[in-house]
Structure 1
Amino acid sequence: MTSLRHIDRSDNAYLDAARACLLDLGWRRTTLTEVARRAGVSRMTIYRTWPDMPSLLADLMTREWTQLMQAPDFALEIDDPAHLPGDDLVSRVVAIVRALRDNELFVRIVEVDPELILPYLFSRRGRSQDLVLQLLVPAIRRGQKEGRFRAGDPAVIARGLLLTAHGFVLSAQTMLDDDVTEADLDHELALVLTRSLAP
């Protein structure tokens, strides 16, 4: 499993301050100096951990999305991802997509600073995306052993599921109108994933 940089209690306080800044000011107006001011520490204290805003933002997003995936409602077992029953996988993915789409930090980034998301769509995977894949692969492998899912490389299947979910997270708002609701799209995502995994 890809290791995430350990975030201790003080770092969490600084990330809380950074989160508040982003929600209030947006990315362009947030500085390490402002984060330090809100956290009640010196600027050098922040600089010792994060040399610049992109590195701080990366840790903030990793913490935010990881906490979301670890929420009890989703029952995704980080320590034992194979524990996730195969028949629950689709409903868990749809629930996470819905929660991410509604997350206030994610919504703020998409509305005000959408360019922050672009590197994770066009250039590289982020740590949170790797974490999702690390959860999906064992669950898919288990579903295959139980005969619930089709044959194939679990790593490839997991990446296909993640790419599918991207669209339902990032572009769902463009598909909503008087004829189609978010609930309709969530139902459609569940159908797409179920048929993609069907043996």
Structure 2
Amino acid sequence: MTSIRHNPGPQRPHADAVLDAARACVLAVGVRRTTLTDVARRAGLSRMTIYRHWPDVRALVADLMTREWTAVTAGVRAEDPVEAVVAGVRALRAHPLWRKIVEVDPELLLPYLIDRRGASHEAMLATIEEMLAAGQASGRVRPGRTAPMARAVLLTAQSFLLSAPTMTDPAVSLGDLDAELTALLEGYVRP
């Protein structure tokens, strides 16, 4: 289990301003064309201030993705884990930063798909486990270890997030696929 090395927080002065500036830069030109100089200029800080906390754009963007994805998933928490996961997939799929990265810099996501988990994965797994445990306590989720269940749910949701757009055409919409994701998860987690 590997998390990203950089975690924005109170130990980083100006972290929100830097991440906001990075978000604006990535939305404007993509990750590959964003430089720490551009981010510093947009944040109104010196390049050295940024370099002290982030060695390169990829490290900065990793922290930005963590902030953005965890904010999205925190915003869609629901009592029912199936509804929450499907809503999270929809919300991430519609997120402007997600769309920009998928359209312009999809290779940035590859390490998180085949090599390691990132901090956002860890946060999502913790949230899903918590929802599954609450569902078990209320009888709405089947018994079992929540850790492997959460991973299976996240893997399923991740595939629908990343690949569902490739499976749409005039006969099958994203809404249709979201309904199938709901059916899959219902069949998996319900008693």
Flag whether TM exceeds 0.5 (same fold).
yes
Structure 1: 5+ residue runs without aligned partners?
Answer: 77-83
Partner of residue 49, structure 1: 53
Supply the distance in 2 between the matched residues of 1:94 and 1:43 (Cα, whole angstroms).
40
The correspondence of residues 1-199 of structure 1 with structure 2, limited to 5 A, is 5-7=8-10, 10-71=14-75, 74=76, 76=77, 85=79, 88-199=80-191
Moved over 4 A (4+): none
Supply the distance in 1 between the matched residues of 2:44 and 2:135 (Cα, whole angstroms).
49
Q: Is the 8 A contact 2:9 2:15 kept in 1?
A: no
Query: Which deviations, in whole Å up to 9, do the C-alpha atoms of 1:114-143 show, x marking residues without a partner?
Result: 000001100001111111111111221222
Supply the distance in 2 between the matched residues of 1:122 and 1:40 (Cα, whole angstroms).
36
Query: Which deviations, in whole Å up to 9, do the C-alpha atoms of 1:99-122 show, x marking residues without a partner?
Result: 000100000000000000001100
Supply the distance in 2 between the matched residues of 1:111 and 1:146 (Cα, whole angstroms).
41
**Are the structure 2 counterparts of residues 30 and 102 from structure 1 closer, same or farther at C-alpha, using a change threshold of 3 Å?**
same
Q: Which amino acid in the other structure matches residue 174 of structure 1? A: T
Supply the distance in 1 between the matched residues of 2:44 and 2:140 (Cα, whole angstroms).
53
Count of residues in Structure 1 that have an aligned counterpart in Structure 2? 186
User: Aligned-pair distance for 1:49?
Assistant: 1.3
Q: Is the 8 A contact 2:18 2:40 kept in 1?
A: yes
User: Aligned-pair distance for 1:70?
Assistant: 2.2
- 3-state SS of paired residue (2:14): helix
Supply the distance in 2 between the matched residues of 1:142 and 1:22 (Cα, whole angstroms).
37
TM-score (ref. length: structure 1) = 0.88
- 3-state SS of paired residue (1:171): helix
Query: Which deviations, in whole Å up to 9, do the C-alpha atoms of 1:149-177 show, x marking residues without a partner?
Result: 22221100000000000111001110110
RMSD of the TM alignment (CA)? 1.8
Supply the distance in 2 between the matched residues of 1:146 and 1:18 (Cα, whole angstroms).
42
Percent identity for Structure 1 against Structure 2? 53
Q: Which piece of structure 1 moves more, 28-37 or 136-145?
A: 136-145
Supply the distance in 2 between the matched residues of 1:6 and 1:37 (Cα, whole angstroms).
21
